[in-house]
Amino acid sequence: MPYSIVQPWGRDRYRQATVTSTHDTVDDAYARLDAIAAKLQRDGAPPDTLELYVVDTDRLPVARPGVQ
């Protein structure tokens, strides 16, 4: 099942969102999300600069593996 990283822009945070990338596994999606966050931090951006979520093919949020 593909997983996407999305940037919300509408009232429905997950369905009204721009897909920024798609990945084969949830682990890959979160690895990419972590890489984006690390780059923003290195560049000195505030932590709330960019809002991104990992969603499944139904545009439902997917929790990070190992986190409840």
Q: Which pLDDT tens digit goes with each residue over 44-53?
A: 999 888 999 9
What is the pTM assigned to this prediction?
A: 0.88
* Cα separation, 33 vs 43, whole angstroms: 15
Give the per-residue pLDDT at 47. Answer: 85
Of 6, 68, 61, whose CA–CA distance to 32 is shortest? 6
C-alpha to C-alpha distances, 14 to 5, 17, 33, 54, nearest whole angstrom: 10, 6, 16, 9
Give the per-residue pLDDT at 67. Answer: 82
